[in-house]
A and B are shown apart, each in its own frame.
Chain A
């Protein structure tokens, strides 16, 4: 087992389940943050894997993930924070977040 494989294994087995737990529980904003952290961890894994396999062409995965991941985060942010663009700012955002979390009045 080379050091690069061990690094990828540590990233996947250590940070992956933690991010999955964050994605699976909590309020929508917390899920969004855990999702961003998971994409960052996977980007690091995609940068380590070409070193482990000795194929530098696998780095295209990390490049594509770096392009795609902020787009997905923006989509979720638009849905969580801007559920109703016509309403006033603070009441709309907190009301939408609580409504999505299922804890709203």
Chain B
């Protein structure tokens, strides 16, 4: 009965990791990565190691997407944050 649980959790992890690899845009990839962290913590809990699942839950669900989203904001603020503002700046420049 535990084998079925391990198999289902492993299948969820495989599907989620494949989606995370195939997703090209970083903002969507962060959401998929959060789901991957949840699936991995379920897999660790099913494999009878709740402390590893606890660490994976804290890091993979909250910390990694937060860092990725902060990086995206910091990198892509100027060119892609607000196209209207760049138009105004271009108009002022002209």
Contact = CB atoms under 8 A, between A and B. Distances in A.
Q: Which of A24, A49, A65 has the most CB of B within 10 A?
A: A24
A-side interface size class: 35 or more
Contacts of B4: 1, 9
B50 A60 contact: yes
Contacts of B2: 5
Contacts of B65: 72, 75-76
A64 B38 CA distance: 12
Given A23-B35, A28-B31, A53 B48 contact: yes
A84 B57 contact: no
B27 A102 contact: no
Contacts of A94: none
B84 A87 contact: yes
A46 to B, nearest CB: 7
Interface in B68-91: 69, 72-73, 80-85
**For the complex of A and B, 7 pairs with smallest distance between CB atoms:** A1-B1, A24-B19, A68-B62, A23-B35, A12-B8, A31-B31, A79-B69
